[in-house]
Structures are given as C-alpha cells and as structure tokens.
Chains A and B, each alone.
Chain A
Amino acid sequence: MDVLGLYNYWIVIVLMMTGFYVVISRGNLIKKVVGLNIFQTSVFILYISMGKIIGGTAPIVAPGVTVYSNPLPHVLILTAIVVGVATTALGLTLIVRIKEAFGTVEESEILQQRDDT
C-alpha cells in the first residue's frame, strides 16, 4: 500500500476528527469554535493536497515553466477561507451575547439555568 502517497489524507482525517471531537465533547463555546476552525482548516488541506502535482509550481504563468499545480482547488478554498472567517466572527459574537444573557459560556451551566427557570 502506498503509505507516503496517502499520508496527507490520513493526517487530514486525524485533524478533522480532532476538531470534531473538540466540538462534540467540550462544553466551552469558545473551544467549540476553535474546534470548528481545526475541522475547517483540515478540509482546506484536503483540497489543496488533491491539487498538488509533484514537480509542479504555483499556478502563475511564467516563461520556461511547463508543469503547474491545479489552480481550481485554490480558488474554491480562497472563497472558503473568507466565508469561514465570516462564520467564525458571527459565532464569536453570539458567544459574547450568550455571556451577557447567561453570565457564562459553558454549555452545561447554560442548560442548568434554562432548566431552573
């Protein structure tokens, strides 16, 4: 089996699952957002890995260069990064409002307060 050729994808899966685990197992909302970011970046790495050609260069046309890596995943991921920071900003703002309303950013304490009322 081609372990070196699949190493990128496997690390991507490890990162993805670490991010996923942080999101579903940690109660702190800020940590959840950080976990979501890890997950997101791992998807970026997956796409860029697929676009890479060994021996190619960055897709900027220059004389004397014949092999370029695939530019299309790069375009997709540029859009994804910018949209990602927009969602992160919105999520963090919601956390600030939750802190103002409940006085905590821990999921368990928020649920406790909701049950008490």
Chain B
Amino acid sequence: MARQEGGRVIEILVDIVLLSFLAVMAVGILRLRNLFAVVMLSGIYSLISAGLFVTMDAVDVAFTEAAVGGGISTVLMLATLALTTDKEKEPLANLQIWPLLAVFITGAALIYGTLDMPSFGDPQAPIHLHVADRYVAEGPGATGVPNIVTAVLASYRSYDTMGELTVIFTAGIGVMLLLGAGSRRRKD
C-alpha cells in the first residue's frame, strides 16, 4: 500500500516537472527571433507533451503526437522556412500593451473557471461517471479489440473517423492546388 502511494507521488511529480518544461519552452518560443530555433523548440515541445500524455495514460495520443506533432509538423515547418526565411523581423515592442491586456483578461477568466473543476486524477469527477465505464466493460467484447481507444475510434465511431479522412483529403488537395499554381506561374 505504501509502495502504491509512493508511485502516485512520483506520477504527480513527473507530471508537474513536464508541465513546467512546457511552460518554459512556450516562453522561449515567444522570445526567440531565429525561426529555425523556434521550429526546433516547437518540435521538442510536441515531444515533451507526448511524454506528458504517456504519464497521463493516453498512449495512443502520445505516439500520434510524437509522430504527427513532433515529426510531420516540424518537417513541414522546416520546408516552409527553406522556401521563405528563417529570420523574424524585430517586433515593435517585446511586450505590447493591447495584446497583453487581452491575454491577461482572458487568462484570468479561464483561471476563475478552473476554480470549481474536479481535482486532477479524481476518480469521482463527472467525466468518469457517465458512459466511459460502459465502453471499458463492453468494448472489447463487442468489437474484439482490447485497446478501447482503437475500439471507439475504428468501430463505434468509424464514420467520424472516415469524416476525419475527408478533412485530411481536402487539406491535401488544398496544399497541392496552392503549391501547384505557384510552380506553374514560375515556369511562364
């Protein structure tokens, strides 16, 4: 029992340390003006958030974030830097008053909103008391997949996943049209 208690303390400690890393990195991204460094930092940011997802038991989300957020997004951004520029022009001021005001007011409202949120990891939180148990109990039997996330994604909600493919397909066509139009004009 004491060992289990110790495990929970470590679980929360890892969570806190990774979250603090993310906050530091976000500030780094805000302050740096070399866009290459910014893109690299955002790749590391994605990777650390993937680690955070593992500590919060979301393994499927973690490897998708690591592959898509840390991998594909970073490659796309590097490609964009190669086609455009990797230097950011000096901003008017490092801290701008109106954006800061908007951010602080929104942030304060959101913090006020969290005050009556259920505590992190509380098994009695409203989110756990609705349908989740049914998916855990019946999912593997009904779909034959032991991984409940996969069962919901590919079986219970397979039409939604197909709709998601339509979104990616549309985005892919958009990218091809935009880039294709550019290369044709250059040849003329």
When the two chains form their complex, are residues A38 and B42 in contact, meaning their CB atoms are under 8 A apart?
Answer: yes
A41-B45, A86-B168 given; A51·B58 CB < 8 A:
yes
A41-B69, A55-B8, A59-B57 given; A7·B76 CB < 8 A:
no
Chain B residues closer than 8 Å to A62, beta-carbon distance: 146
In the complex, what distance in Å separates the CA atom of A1 from the CA atom of B164?
41
When the two chains form their complex, are residues A7 and B19 in contact, meaning their CB atoms are under 8 A apart?
Answer: yes
Chain A residues closer than 8 Å to B60, beta-carbon distance: 74, 78
Tally of B interface residues using CB under 8 Å:
96
Minimum CB–CB distance for B181 against chain A, Å: 8
When the two chains form their complex, are residues A90 and B35 in contact, meaning their CB atoms are under 8 A apart?
Answer: no
Chain B, range 116-141, C-beta contacts under 8 Å to A: 117-123, 125, 127-128, 131-132, 135-136, 139-140
Minimum CB–CB distance for B154 against chain A, Å: 10
When the two chains form their complex, are residues A34 and B38 in contact, meaning their CB atoms are under 8 A apart?
Answer: yes
Q: Which residue of A lies closest to B140 (CB)?
A: A61
- Indicate whether B83 reaches chain A with its CB closer than 8 angstroms: yes
When the two chains form their complex, are residues A85 and B73 in contact, meaning their CB atoms are under 8 A apart?
Answer: yes
Question: Chain A contact residues: over half helix, strand or loop, or mixed?
Answer: helix
Chain A residues closer than 8 Å to B85, beta-carbon distance: 99, 105
A5-B119, A89-B175 given; A75·B149 CB < 8 A:
yes
30 A-B interface contacts by CB (under 8 A): A5-B120, A6-B120, A11-B20, A18-B23, A21-B100, A21-B103, A22-B30, A30-B77, A38-B26, A41-B69, A44-B61, A45-B53, A52-B57, A53-B121, A54-B121, A55-B123, A58-B58, A60-B59, A60-B147, A70-B128, A71-B148, A73-B127, A75-B157, A79-B153, A81-B65, A81-B69, A82-B164, A86-B171, A89-B175, A96-B182
Residues of B within 8 A of A (CB): 4, 8, 11-12, 15-16, 19-20, 22-23, 26-27, 29-30, 35, 38-39, 42, 45-46, 49, 52-53, 56-61, 64-65, 68-69, 72-73, 76-77, 79-81, 83-85, 88-89, 91, 96, 99-100, 102-104, 106-107, 110-111, 114-115, 117-123, 125, 127-128, 131-132, 135-136, 139-140, 146-149, 152-153, 157, 160-161, 164, 167-168, 170-172, 174-175, 178-179, 181-182, 185
